[in-house]
Structure 1
Amino acid sequence: MRRRIQLLPIAIFTLLFFLLNWYVWGGLQIVAQQSYVGPVFWTTITLIAFALLYALQGMQQRGMGLFFKIATHAFLVLFVSEILFSLVLILADIYRGTVGFIGWIGQHHFLAPLRSPQWVTVGVVVFISSVLLFLYGILKGKYAYRVIKHTLYFKDLPKAFDGFTITQISDVHSGSFSNAKAVQKGIDLIKAQQSDLFVFTGDLVNNKAEEIKPWIGHFSQIKAPYGQFSVLGNHDYGDYVKWPNDEVKSANLQQLKSYHQGLGFRLLLDEHVELWKDGEKIVLAGIENWGLGFGERGDLQKALLNTTPEEFKVLLSHDPSHWEEQVKKNPSKIHLTLAGHTHGMQFGIEAFGIKWSSGKTSLQTLGRIKEENGRVLNVNRGFGFIGFSGRVGIWPEITVIELKKG
C-alpha cells in the first residue's frame, strides 16, 4: 500500500518533467539542425531524471552522499535553466500569437514567424548563462563572503555607546563545509572588522554536534573586546535526523552547547547580559529558537527578566518570525533584533536596484533593515549553506552594524 502512495507523485513529476523538456526541445529544433542533437538531448534528460529518482528513493538507506548531491544538483541546474529558457519561448509564442491575430484581422495571415531563430538563440544564451551561474555558485559563490554594513540611529542609545560596532554572522551550517582555506578567508574577514562585539545567531550545524569539530580552530579565532555571544537555531536541536532514542538526542544538544564554549562563544539561553561602557550600559539578550513551524522554544519574558522597559536592548533570535510575532509590539522595548534563518534561500538577484529571492519576498528575507514601532530588525543572509551546495546572487554575509545616537 505504501508503494502505491509513492508511485503517484513520482508519475506526476515524471510526466511534468518530460512535458517541460518536450516544450524545450520544440524550441531547440529550430537552431539545432544536426541529427545527433536530439538523441543526445533526450539521453541526457533521461539519465538525469533516473539518477534523481534513484537518489531520492535510496536516500534513507544510502544517505545524502556524493551521488545524491551530484544527482540533485544536476537536476536543479537543468530544471531552473530550462524554466528560464521556456519563459523566453513563451514570450515568443505570445508575441507570435498577438501579431498573428492582428495580421489575421488585417487579412495578412500571421505575419509573425513561428518562433524565429533569433528568439530561440536568446533562450539558448539565457540557458547557458544560467548553467554557468549555477556552476559558479556551487564552486565559488558559496564562499564568496560579503561584508554588509549598516549604521543605525537611536535617540535613546546611551551616549557612551555612540559608534559601538557589532559584527553578526548566522547559519554557519558547518556540516556543509568542505573547503578549509575558503572558510578561513571568511574568518579573516570577520576579524578584519575589529568590532566591539561579535554575535552569532544560530544554526551552527546541520544536524549533529560533531559537524563543528573540524572547524573549532577556525571560529575560535574570532575575538571582540566586549565578547562573543551566540544563540541556537532550529537545526541545532537535531530535529531533522533520526536518533536511536531521546537520550542520545539530548546528549547531542549538550555536546553542541559545550562546543559553543570551546569556540569562545557565550551561549545565551533565554537570558541576558549587561554590557557596560563608561558607566552606561546596554542589554544583550538571547533566546532559544522560536520560529513559526520551526519550534517555539524560546521564552522572551524569561530572557528579559529584571530588565526595565526603557533600557536599550539588543536581542539575538534566530528566526525573524519571532520578531513579527512577539518582539515588535512587546511592552518592553527591544531596540534591535538580530536574526538569520532564511539564507535568502541562497538563490536570487540583488543588482541594479532589483531585489528578489527564491524564498519569501519580504524585506527581511533579503537581509535589509526593517523598522516598525521604533524597533529594528536585521536578518543576516547566512555564513554557510545547506541543501543546495551553493549560492547564486544571495552571497554569504558578514554584517557590521554601527550604533549611533541621534
Structure 2
Amino acid sequence: MPHLKISSHSVQRTVHANELHEAHQAALDSPDFESLRPMFDWLSNRMTERRFRSETGTVKKSRKFKLAVSRAMAQAVVNSPSAERAYQRVNGPARVHFTRIILPVAGLPPSLDGLRVAQITDVHHGPWLPAEYIAAIMAQVNATKPDLVLLTGDYVINSPRYIDPVARAFATLRPSIGVFAVLGNHDWWEGAGRMRAALESAGIPMVDNRHVVVSPERSLITSRRADSPLGLAVAGVGDYWEDRVSADDALGGLPDAMPRLLLSHNPDVAEDAAFLSAGHRVDLMISGHTHGGQVRIPRLGTPVIPSLYGGKYASGWVDGPAFPVYINNGIGTSGVPLRYKAPAEVTIFDLTPAGLIL
C-alpha cells in the first residue's frame, strides 16, 4: 500500500492510505449541536436510509423530484431570519480546507517529481455561493502554484444563469500547464452543452471520455509517436448518472507503462462492472459528488450520501476494487445550504515517483 504524506494547514505527517480514510471518519467527534438540532431532526426524519434506485440498480431520479427535494430541504434553513448571515460565516472562502497530499505514482518520470495537481469540485455556484466567494477561492488555489488544475464537476446549481459567471471564475486559474474538466450531474441538469461551451471559451478543455498527456518536459503532448517518452496521462469519463462512461475512450491507446490520473465526478464508477472489465490501468481516480456527506450529524451519521455504496465513497481516500479513489468534499452545497463536520475542500496533490517518498 502506498504511503502518503498529508499536510493539513501547517501540520504534516506520513500515513498509510487507509489511515487517510480513517482520519476523515474521525471527523464525526461530537460537539454541542443543540442549536442545529431542529434542522438535523428534520433531515433525519425525511431522508435517513432512503434509497433511490431504478429496476437496474442505478441511481436515477427525475429532475423534477430532485428539485422538489432540494427546495424542501433548503426551506428548513431559509425559514431562519439569520440563515444567510450564518451561511456566509460558516461556509465562506476562509472556511475552505486545503488538503495537501504527497502522492507516489509508479512509473512517474523523475522530471515530473513534484508536479502539483489541484482538484476543485462541486462548486455549486448559485444563490448561496456568490461569485466573489468563488473568485477568492480561485485566488487561494493560484497561491499554491499548481501545475495542473483538475475540475471534477457540479459547477452550478438551481439555474443555468450561473454557468457563465462560474466559467469566468475558473478562467482566473493560472496553473503552469493547464486546467481540465469533466461535467457532473448538476451541470447536465442546468445545461451540459452550455456548460461545456462556457468552459471551453474560458480556455478549459473537457476530458469526458478522452485523455491528454503531460510530457516529461511538463508540456502537453498533442500527438504521440510509438517511441515518444512516457509522461502522465490525465483522463476523464462522463457523469455516471447522466452521461456515457467509456473506459476505452478515456484510457484506450495509452502505453501500459504510462501512469494516469482519472477524473470522474461520481466515485461509483470505481465499482462499475463494465468499466472494470475493460482492464485499464488507473493510478488514482479523483471524484466529488458526495460532498463528504455535507451534514454529518453527531451520533446519527449522514442523512444523504448519493451513492449506491452508502458511506464507502463519502470522503477521502478509498481503496476501490481495482484502484484507489480520492473523494474531495467539494466547495459548495446542494439541498441544504449548510456544511457540518464535512468541511469544504480543495485538494493539492504533489506527485512523486513511487519509491522516492521520504
Partner of 1:226: 177
CA contact (8 A) 1:285 1:314 kept: yes
Normalized per residue, which structure has more helix? 1
Cα distance 1:159–1:356, how it changes in 2: closer, same or farther (>3 A)?
Answer: farther
Bigger shift: residues 173-182 or 198-207: 173-182
Q: Distance in 2 between matches of 1:402 and 1:332?
A: 23
2:265 is the alignment partner of 1:318: yes
2:338 is the alignment partner of 1:378: no
> Helix, strand or coil: the match of 2:215?
strand
CA contact (8 A) 2:109 2:216 kept: no
Q: Distance in 1 between matches of 2:194 and 2:75?
A: 33
Bigger shift: residues 315-324 or 180-189: 180-189
Counterpart pick for 1:285 among 232, 235, 238? 235
Counterpart pick for 1:393 among 322, 341, 348? 341
Counterpart pick for 1:141 among 66, 76, 90? 90
> What is the percentage of aligned positions where both structures have the same residue?
23
CA contact (8 A) 1:142 1:385 kept: no
Shift of residue 159 of structure 1? 2.0
Q: Distance in 1 between matches of 2:166 and 2:187?
A: 16
CA contact (8 A) 2:125 2:131 kept: no
Cα distance 1:330–1:372, how it changes in 2: closer, same or farther (>3 A)?
Answer: farther
What letter is aligned with 1:376?
P
Partner of 2:150: 199
Cα distance 1:193–1:207, how it changes in 2: closer, same or farther (>3 A)?
Answer: same
1:38-71 CA-to-partner distances (Å, cap 9, x unmatched) read: xxxxxx9xxx9xxxxxxxxxxx9xx98xx97874
> Helix, strand or coil: the match of 2:168?
helix
1:93-143 CA-to-partner distances (Å, cap 9, x unmatched) read: xxxxxxxxxxxxxxxxxxxxxxxxxxxxxxxxxxxxxxx9x8886232222
Cα distance 1:68–1:333, how it changes in 2: closer, same or farther (>3 A)?
Answer: closer
Flag the structure with more relative contact order, 1 or 2, with Cα contacts below 8 A and sequence separation at least 6: 2
What letter is aligned with 1:139?
Q
> Helix, strand or coil: the match of 1:395?
coil
Q: Distance in 2 between matches of 1:364 and 1:344?
A: 8
2:179 is the alignment partner of 1:257: no
Q: Which runs of 5+ in 1 are unaligned?
A: 1-43, 49-59, 78-131, 242-251
Q: Distance in 1 between matches of 2:73 and 2:321?
A: 44
What letter is aligned with 1:381?
N
Partner of 2:245: 298
Partner of 1:215: 166
Q: How many residues get paired?
A: 271
What letter is aligned with 1:378?
Y
Q: Which runs of 5+ in 2 are unaligned?
A: 1-37, 43-63, 218-228
Q: Distance in 2 between matches of 1:321 and 1:280?
A: 29
Shift of residue 371 of structure 1? 2.8
> Helix, strand or coil: the match of 1:381?
coil
Partner of 2:133: 182
What letter is aligned with 1:401?
F
Q: Distance in 1 between matches of 2:327 and 2:155?
A: 16
Cα distance 1:363–1:194, how it changes in 2: closer, same or farther (>3 A)?
Answer: farther
Shift of residue 333 of structure 1? 1.2
CA contact (8 A) 1:171 1:383 kept: yes
> Helix, strand or coil: the match of 2:136?
helix
TM-score, length-normalised on structure 1? 0.59
Cα distance 1:288–1:391, how it changes in 2: closer, same or farther (>3 A)?
Answer: same
Shift of residue 393 of structure 1? 1.9
Q: 1:88-103 counterparts in 2 under 5 A?
A: none
Partner of 2:212: 273
> Helix, strand or coil: the match of 1:237?
helix
Q: Distance in 2 between matches of 1:383 and 1:138?
A: 13
C-alpha RMSD of matched pairs (Å): 3.3
CA contact (8 A) 1:260 1:266 kept: yes
Shift of residue 313 of structure 1? 0.9
TM-score, length-normalised on structure 2? 0.66
Q: Distance in 1 between matches of 2:78 and 2:186?
A: 26
Q: Distance in 2 between matches of 1:140 and 1:225?
A: 33
Q: Distance in 1 between matches of 2:335 and 2:148?
A: 30
> Helix, strand or coil: the match of 1:140?
helix
Q: 1:109-188 counterparts in 2 under 5 A?
A: 138-143=87-92, 144-188=95-139
